[in-house]
């Protein structure tokens, strides 16, 4: 009989205080983690080159590729809020997936969502113009994970996170945001960006693509 999720956490759950480094980029990996409570930050690089890849909430899992592919960790995982995590070795993970269809389906859905996000990231980076990258990233995030707020949609990204997603310097991204704000396509707020009308942002993206296709300059 498949174990219930609560029973899995009773059996494999561990407590981790804030500040705990679960693993570092380049380490060998023997466990994966599922977040029952708390938050974990994934980063890549060190010092001034460190980049935040994601802040994972309860329900998310991470570290699975190291035990599936037997490869070094591709990021550093740090507990940023006292957390309780389900810690699974390779054999436990395989057994759990085989014996619990609900958990297996949930994992498949999350992996599919990550693949879609990776494809979106490729689409962003294939765009050569900063305006295109920023507008495309904001529009895509608004449609995928934006939160309705009044007549618009809120994207809870900082400028730094947006810059990481589009692969551009923060100052350059800020210049694009200033232009979008002036055109009332995006409203910067303390906890992210409010997009009054996602459809207008899509129209602007199509306009930019036409300009690029026909070689129209900013003054044209």
In the chain, where the domains are located: 5-122, 129-213
CA separation for the pair 147, 88 (Å, rounded): 33
Would the pTM of this model clear 0.85, i.e. be above it?
no
pLDDT tens digits in sequence order for the chain, 220 residues long: 445 556 767 788 899 999 999 999 999 888 999 898 999 999 888 877 777 777 888 888 898 887 777 788 988 999 999 999 999 888 888 887 777 777 778 777 877 777 676 666 667 666 778 888 898 889 888 888 889 988 889 998 889 888 878 888 899 999 999 999 999 999 999 889 999 988 888 888 888 777 666 665 554 4
Per CATH, 5-122 and 129-213 having the same topology is answered no
Give the Å distances, CA to CA, from 151 to 98, 145, 147.
Answer: 45, 16, 11
CA separation for the pair 23, 10 (Å, rounded): 23
Closest listed residue to residue 127, CA positions, set 88, 176, 91: 176
Cβ–Cβ contacts within 10 Å for residue 39, how many? 17
CATH T-level fold of 5-122? Jelly Rolls (2.60.120)
Q: What pLDDT is stored for residue 3 in this prediction?
A: 53
Q: What pLDDT is stored for residue 219 in this prediction?
A: 47
Among 1.10.10.10, 3.40.50.12240, 3.55.10.10, 3.20.20.210, name the CATH number for the domain at 129-213. 1.10.10.10
CA separation for the pair 72, 27 (Å, rounded): 5
The residues, ordered by sequence, that sit 6+ positions from 175 with a Cβ below 8 Å of its Cβ are 130
């Amino acid at each position: 009989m498949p174990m219930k999720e609560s029973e899995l956490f009773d059996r494999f759950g561990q407590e981790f205080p804030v500040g705990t480094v679960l693993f570092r980029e380049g380490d060998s990996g023997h466990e994966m983690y599922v977040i029952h409570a708390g938050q974990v930050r994934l980063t890549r690089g060190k010092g001034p080159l460190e980049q935040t890849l994601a802040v994972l909430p309860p329900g998310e899992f991470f570290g699975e590729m190291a035990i599936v592919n037997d490869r070094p960790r591709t990021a550093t995982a740090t507990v940023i809020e006292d957390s309780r995590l389900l810690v699974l070795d390779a054999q436990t993970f395989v057994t759990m997936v085989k014996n619990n269809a609900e958990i297996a389906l949930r994992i498949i859905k999350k992996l599919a969502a990550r693949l879609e996000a990776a494809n979106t990231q490729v689409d962003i980076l294939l765009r050569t113009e900063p305006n295109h990258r920023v507008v495309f990233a904001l529009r895509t995030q608004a449609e995928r994970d934006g939160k309705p707020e009044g007549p618009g949609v809120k994207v809870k990204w900082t400028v730094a996170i947006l810059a990481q997603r589009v692969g551009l310097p923060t100052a350059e991204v800020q210049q694009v945001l200033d232009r979008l704000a002036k055109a009332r396509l995006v409203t910067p707020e303390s906890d992210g960006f409010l997009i009054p009308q996602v459809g207008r942002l899509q129209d602007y993206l199509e306009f930019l693509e036409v300009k690029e296709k026909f070689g129209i300059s900013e003054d044209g």
